[in-house]
Amino acid sequence: EEIEKEKIEEEIEKEIEEEIEEIEEKIEEEIEEEIEEEIEEEIEKGGSSNEEEAETLKREQEEAQ
C-alpha cells in the first residue's frame, strides 16, 4: 500500500514537472517573439540610437535563451 502511494506521488510529481517545463517553454517563446517584434520596430524607425537599442534587445533575447 505504501509503495503504491509512493508510485502515485512520483507520477504526479513527474506530470507537474512536465507541465512546468511546457509553460516555461511557452513563456520563453512569447518573450522571444516580443523581443523580435521590438527589434523589427526599432530597425524600421532607423537612426543610430535606435540601432543601438535594437542591439540591446537582441542581446536580451539571446540571454533569455
Percentage of the chain with pLDDT > 90?
45
What is each CA distance from 26 to 6, 20, 61, 65, in whole angstroms? 30, 10, 14, 12
pTM score over 0.85? no
Domain residues of the chain, as ranges?
Answer: 2-64
- Region 30-44 average pLDDT: 86
Query: In the predicted model, is pLDDT for residue 50 greater than 90?
Result: no
